[in-house]
Amino acid sequence: MTLSDKDGGGAGAIARLLLRWYDDHARSLPWRIAPGSGESPDPYRVWLSEIMLQQTTVAAVAPYFAEFTRRWPTVADLAAAPDEDVLAAWAGLGYYARARNLIACAREVVAAGGVFPDTEEGLRALPGVGAYTAAAIAAIAFGRRAVVVDANVERVVSRLFAIRTPLPASKPEIRTATDAITPEDRAGDFAQAMMDLGARVCTVREPACLICPIANHCDAREQGIAAILPAKTPKKPRPERTGTAFWIERGEGDAREVLLVSRPAKGMLAGMRALPSDGWSARGDGDGVPPVNAHWQVLEASVTHGFTHFTLTMQLMAARHDGGDVPEGEWWPVARIGDAGLPTLFARAAAGALACWPDGDD
């Protein structure tokens, strides 16, 4: 069914109904300007939230956003921050390449005068800003008409137009359909309205069609197939990798310290503080060889962590430092291990080591 066939006037009616609903039901989010408030969005806060929200939920992002904007309220503040402080503050949010791109982007914006580009083309030239993020920032921060398609929008549009082609093959069709209903005015509000509709009404498992403001325009509802769209191509199983993390400790009582290293500048968890490990990667298993000669104890704990392209199961080994050479790194107080900004994988490994080897005894 084409847009002109839809009841109530097609694309214009869909946009009007959705914006009217958004004015009354918009989510209150820490990075969002409420519709009708008369305030102008801060491009820095819009950009920061969109980078954080990539492949992450609103609930997970909210406390990180609050902490980042408290510590670094402007893009200039963030650009001036030491890399290790930003990476530590990001720890636990995942997909750590985003944090490195965040730093690079902030510094590039400041070097260019401290003002974000206001077009999709200009925004896409920045580190870490892809097509979706550029469109979202252009629409929300600058009011540009842009076609903004995230996972929520994909779901809404797939149902609205009864697009049966499975994702990801349907992405071009979804984008074309989204373009057709995106208004010239209030494009940022329209984009956020679509996101809110997907998050709160047109949900994954149980779309609430009875309260949907555009239900009368929805082809999938009319055909009784809303709950099964969008269709998705089955995912291939992720490869299974194995590795080992090494807990190297010195000192006694309150003076206990553990050796932390910095991950290589490129690759998985690049530049992050971590426990020493054995060279595992997306391409292969670790070699299991400890970084120093010591009396190693295999701990009765392991950590399994899902990365984008593989799943890692990491064994834990622990030893006391005997005064010999160790890998380049820093000795971190065990009592403050939670302040080290370890990525989730290694934070869980540290917790496992402490649970199995709480006193550092062999």
Question: Which of 121, 125, 202, 199 lies closest to 156, judged by CA?
Answer: 202
Residue 223 CB contacts under 8 Å (≥ 6 apart), including other chains: 162
Lookup result for tokens 């709480």: 358
Give the residue among 191, 192, 168 at the shortest CA–CA distance from 181.
191
| Tokens standing for residue 80 | 């001036």
For 298, what's the count of Cα atoms within 13 Å in the CB-facing half-sphere? Answer: 7
Sign for the pseudo-dihedral over CA of 55, 56, 58, 62:
negative
Sign of the C-alpha dihedral, residues 51, 52, 53, 55?
positive
Continuous H helices in 41-169: 43-53, 58-71, 75-80, 83-90, 97-111, 120-124, 131-142, 151-160
- d(CA 52, CA 50) in angstroms, rounded, equals 5
Radius of gyration of the chain (CA): 24
- φ/ψ region of 239 (left if φ > 0, alpha if ψ in -120 to 50, else beta) reads beta
Which bin fits 91, alpha (ψ -120 to 50), beta or left (φ > 0)?
beta
- Residue 345 φ/ψ region, left for φ over 0, alpha for ψ in the -120 to 50 degree band, beta for the rest: alpha
Structure tokens at 18: 């959705």
Any catalytic annotation for residue 108?
Answer: no
- In the set 50, 120, 154, 257, the catalytic residue is 50
For residues 195-225, one letter each, b for 16 or more C-beta atoms within 10 angstroms of the residue's C-beta and e for the rest, the string is: bbbbbebbeeeebebeebbbbebbbbbeeee
Residues annotated as catalytic are 50
